[in-house]
Amino acid sequence: MNEQFYNVSANPHVRDKATTHSIMLDVIIALLPATLLGWWNFGWKAIVNTILCVATCIIAEYAWQHFMHKKITIMDCSAALTGLLLAMNLPPEVPFFIPVIGGIFAIIVVKQIFGGLGQNFMNPALGARCFLIISYAGLMTNFSYKGFGGSFDATTGATPLAALKAGEAVNLRAMFFGNTAGTIGETSALLLILGGLYLIARKIISWRIPVCYIGTLAVFVLLFGGHGFDMNYLAAHIFGGGLMLGAFFMATDYVTSPITPKGQIIFGIILGILTGLFRIFGGSSEGVSYAIIFSNLLVPLIERYTTPVAFGKGGKNK
């Protein structure tokens, strides 16, 4: 008589070789092309502000954990990624104190006060960006472009979405390839899409959130944008602003997005609707940051109604 033995162990029963360090490193790698283009476009100030953001986030996390007698976790690269994402969301011409204040706010207020990685209720980089926009509105909406032989005045240059909202024509080719004004890391839709596809191919993120987000916004713009089925107008909304950066790199944050497949689809749809509302009916030409933060607050509710129900006693039988 053959006997079969089963090993019984504590969960988790499904294991993966991926670590926090490897995941964060993959996201940083995916962001590098857009980062390097931002440096090329905007020059030395963009480089310095990026370095300040990353360094401030790492130092702030180390200092908090050291003085609070907690485990030092800066080697997992999560603080470095937060700094890089914050830098990608900053105008290149901001004074150097802006990335320092933003980095401290992101790490201390949004992340560490709530318990550190895995406990924060909103994306730290976006939380810091919104704080900076509220506190320093003039500086955070002061855009410029210097690159590829061009030069645009920082006080009069407008982002493509701002020009679009004002009824002006926009250059879709420049928006797609990145030869335009904007924040350090949002200008090239192409490089951000390639970075997002890299993350999907590496199975770091799921396709559900970015596809549902971008698709829902596209439908919203066609229905309520006031331009009918104008594909140029639609493309400007898709390629412009922080949509690609937000959809692939911030809305998909493990901590602040749903883990269930149905939840991710609902989350993406809500993001698209909110971004459309903010962009088309709001006073600002952008809306990605606030849409993601607001949707972050809905994640516990989304997961409550999308988590699969267990079978058996106390569960639900079909």
Condensed to tens digits (0 to 9), the pLDDT of residues 166-206 reads 778 788 888 899 888 889 998 899 999 999 999 999 999 99
Predicted confidence band of residue 15 (pLDDT cuts 50, 70, 90): low
Mean pLDDT of 92-119: 91
Q: For 149-171, what is each residue's pLDDT tens digit? A: 444 444 345 678 888 877 787 88
Q: Which residues contact 197 (CB under 8 A, 6 or more apart)?
A: none
How far apart, in whole angstroms, are the C-alpha atoms of residue 290 and residue 48?
A: 26
Cβ-in-10-Å burial (0-12, 13-18, 19+) of 221 comes to buried
Domain 20-306 CATH class label: mainly alpha
Q: What angle do CA 310, 311, 317 make, to 5 degrees?
A: 120
Q: Which long-range contacts (CB under 8 A, 24 or more apart) does 276-283 make?
A: 276/216, 276/217, 276/220, 276/221, 276/224, 277/220, 279/161, 279/165, 279/221, 279/237, 279/241, 280/220, 280/221, 280/224, 280/225, 280/226, 281/224
Q: For 218-259, what is each residue's pLDDT tens digit? A: 999 999 988 888 899 999 999 988 899 999 999 999 888 999
Contact indicator for 184, 88 with CB cutoff of 8 Å: yes
Q: Is 133 helix (H, G, I), strand (E, B) or coil?
A: helix
Residue 211's pLDDT is 97
Contact indicator for 126, 250 with CB cutoff of 8 Å: yes
Question: Residue 165 corresponds to which tokens in the numbers above?
Answer: 């909202």
Residue 17's pLDDT is 66
pTM, two decimals, is 0.87
